[in-house]
C-alpha cells in the first residue's frame, strides 16, 4: 500500500500546498532549492509542524486526518537531521539503547546488530560522541533513528554538514541501507548526485508546490525536467556488473539500453549499480566508428529535438534499447548531421561520463 501525504500550511512569506501519493518501498528523494519546502514537508510528516489542513497515511495506517492527529512521539518515524545531536555523556551503545526505549520488545522489527553491521559502527560502540568524526557521528545518528524500528525513515540532508571526504566515507553505508532494509525512506537533498545515487522515486518542490514527481529514471530522462540544468543535464541508467578486466581497471555494465564500460569501483560481479550519463559527454555519429578512443558506442534512434537555454545549443533525446540518453550538441552540429525524429544514429559516450 502507498504513502499518502496532503498538507496545507500558511505562514508569513511561505506557503506549503502538497498532495502526494508515494510508493511505500525504496527511497523517495525530496529535491529542491533552499526555501522550496523540503524540510517543512518532512516536519509535517513527523508531526513537528502543525498544518492548517493535513492528511497522512502509510500502508493504510492513518497518522493524521480531519478526525485525528497523532503526536510526534506516537508516529513510527526515525528522523535523521543534518546534525545527529547525540547525547555527549552517553557512549554510542547507550545512545542507541536510548532510542530503543521508545518501543516495546514486541514492536521491535529492526535487528540492532544488523544495523550496526550495515553502518560499520561496531568498533565505535564504547566511544563517546566527542571522539567520533563527523561521518561516524552521522552513522550513529542514523543507527539511533533505526533503533526505534520505524515504519518510515526521514533523512533531512544528512550529508550537508560533512566535507567531501566524510561524504565519501558515509555514502557506501547509505547504499547498504537502501539495498538491505525494507523501511521506506524519504531523503531530502539539493544534490543531484545524491538523488541519482539513492532515490527510486523523485519529488521536486519549488516554493512549497510539487513541480514534478515520478520514477528516478523517468524524470532524469526528460529534457524538460526541472533537474536538467546546463552541465548537470543527464540521465541515470541502472545495470548489472557482468565483466571485469583487471589490466584496464574497468568493468562492463549491462543495462537495458546496452552494455557500457566504466572505471572499476570495486563492484562485485553480478552487483546492481547505477550510472549517470551527462549530456555534455555524449556525441553522435551517423555510422559506427571503431577507430576512436571512445569505447561506449550504441545504436540509437532520435525521439526528441529541443532548444537549449543557450541559443547556440540544442538537446537531443535518443532511445537505445529500453533506455534513453540525452546529447547536448551545437545547433550547427544538428544541422550538419541533418538530425530528425526517427533517425537512426550512433551514440558515443565517453568513459568519464560514468558517475557512480
Average pLDDT over residues 35-48: 94
Residue 354: band (very low, low, confident or very high) from pLDDT cuts 50, 70, 90? low
For residue 260, what pLDDT is reported? Answer: 94
Question: Do the beta carbons of residue 174 and residue 162 sit within 8 Å?
Answer: no
Residue 351: band (very low, low, confident or very high) from pLDDT cuts 50, 70, 90? low
Residue 228: band (very low, low, confident or very high) from pLDDT cuts 50, 70, 90? low
For residue 356, what pLDDT is reported? Answer: 56
What are the chain's domains?
3-220 (3.40.50.300), 232-353 (2.40.50.100)
For residue 229, what pLDDT is reported? Answer: 63
CB atoms within 10 A of CB 161: 15
Q: Which of 20, 35, 13, 7 is nearest to 207 (CA)?
A: 35
For residue 108, what pLDDT is reported? Answer: 72
Residue 105: band (very low, low, confident or very high) from pLDDT cuts 50, 70, 90? low
Model confidence over 292-320: pLDDT tens digits? 999 999 999 999 999 988 899 999 999 99
Q: Give every CB contact of residue 146 below 8 A, 6+ residues apart in sequence.
A: 78, 110, 115, 153, 181, 183
Beta strands 201-206 and 27-31 are parallel
Q: What is the DSSP string of 17-47?
A: EEEEEE-SSSEEEEE--TTSSHHHHHHHHHT
For residue 52, what pLDDT is reported? Answer: 75
Average pLDDT over residues 149-160: 92
Taking the C-alpha atoms of residue 49 and residue 105, their distance in angstroms, rounded to an integer, is: 29
Beta strands 258-263 and 250-255 are antiparallel
For residue 124, what pLDDT is reported? Answer: 95
Element (H, E) at 307: strand 296-307
Q: What is the dihedral of CA 68, 72, 78, 79, to 10 degrees?
A: 120
Average pLDDT over residues 96-112: 76
For residue 33, what pLDDT is reported? Answer: 87
Model confidence over 204-227: pLDDT tens digits? 999 999 999 999 999 999 988 877
pLDDT at 233 exceeding the cut of 90: no
Backbone angles phi, psi at 104, to 5 degrees: -85, 165
Model confidence over 155-200: pLDDT tens digits? 999 988 888 888 888 888 888 888 888 899 999 998 888 888 889 9
Model confidence over 46-62: pLDDT tens digits? 999 988 789 999 989 99
Question: Do the beta carbons of residue 124 and residue 136 sit within 8 Å?
Answer: yes
Taking the C-alpha atoms of residue 13 and residue 197, their distance in angstroms, rounded to an integer, is: 33
Q: What's the whole-model pTM score?
A: 0.89
Q: Which residue has the cell 489542513?
A: 53
Lowest mean pLDDT among 6-10, 232-236, 283-287, 332-336: 232-236
Amino acid at each position: 500500500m502507498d504513502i499518502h501525504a496532503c498538507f496545507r500550511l500558511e505562514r508569513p512569506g511561505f506557503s506549503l500546498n502538497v498532495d502526494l501519493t508515494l510508493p511505500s518501498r525504496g527511497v523517495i528523494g525530496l529535491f529542491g532549492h533552499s526555501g522550496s519546502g523540503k524540510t517543512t514537508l518532512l516536519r509535517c510528516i513527523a508531526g513537528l509542524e502543525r498544518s492548517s489542513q493535513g492528511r497522512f497515511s502509510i500502508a493504510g495506517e492513518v497518522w493524521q486526518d480531519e478526525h485525528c492527529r497523532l503526536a510526534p512521539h506516537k508516529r513510527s518515524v526515525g528522523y535523521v537531521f543534518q546534525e545527529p545531536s547525540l547525547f555527549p555523556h552517553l557512549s554510542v551503545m547507550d545512545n542507541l539503547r536510548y532510542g530503543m526505549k521508545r518501543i516495546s520488545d514486541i514492536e521491535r522489527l529492526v535487528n540492532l546488530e544488523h544495523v550496526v553491521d550495515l553502518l560499520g559502527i561496531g568498533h565505535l560502540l564504547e566511544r563517546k560522541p566527542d571522539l567520533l568524526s563527523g561521518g561516524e557521528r552521522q552513522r550513529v545518528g542514523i543507527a539511533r533513528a533505526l533503533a526505534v524500528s520505524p515504519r518510515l525513515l526521514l533523512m533531512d540532508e544528512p550529508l550537508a554538514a560533512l566535507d567531501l571526504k566524510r561524504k565519501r566515507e558515509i555514502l557506501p553505508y547509505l547504499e547498504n541501507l537502501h539495498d538491505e532494509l525494507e523501511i521506506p525512506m524519504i531523503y531530502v537533498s539539493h544534490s543531484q548526485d545524491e538523488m541519482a545515487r539513492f532515490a527510486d522515486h523523485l519529488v521536486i518542490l519549488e516554493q512549497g508546490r510539487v513541480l514534478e514527481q515520478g520514477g528516478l529514471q523517468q524524470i532524469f530522462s526528460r529534457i524538460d525536467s526541472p533537474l536538467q540544468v546546463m552541465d548537470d543535464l543527464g540521465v541515470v541508467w541502472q545495470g548489472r556488473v557482468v565483466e571485469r578486466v583487471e589490466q584496464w581497471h574497468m568493468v562492463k555494465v549491462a543495462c537495458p539500453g546496452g552494455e557500457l564500460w566504466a572505471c572499476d569501483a570495486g563492484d562485485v560481479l553480478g552487483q546492481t549499480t547505477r550510472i549517470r550519463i551527462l549530456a555534455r559527454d555524449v556525441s553522435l555519429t551517423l555510422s559506427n566508428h571503431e577507430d576512436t578512443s571512445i569505447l561506449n558506442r550504441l545504436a540509437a534512434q532520435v525521439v526528441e529535438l529541443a532548444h537549449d537555454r543557450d541559443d547556440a545549443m540544442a538537446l537531443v533525446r535518443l532511445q537505445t534499447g529500453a533506455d534513453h540518453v540525452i546529447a547536448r550538441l551545437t545547433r550547427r552540429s544538428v544541422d550538419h548531421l541533418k538530425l530528425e525524429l526517427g533517425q537512426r544514429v550512433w551514440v558515443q559516450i565517453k568513459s568519464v561520463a560514468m558517475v557512480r
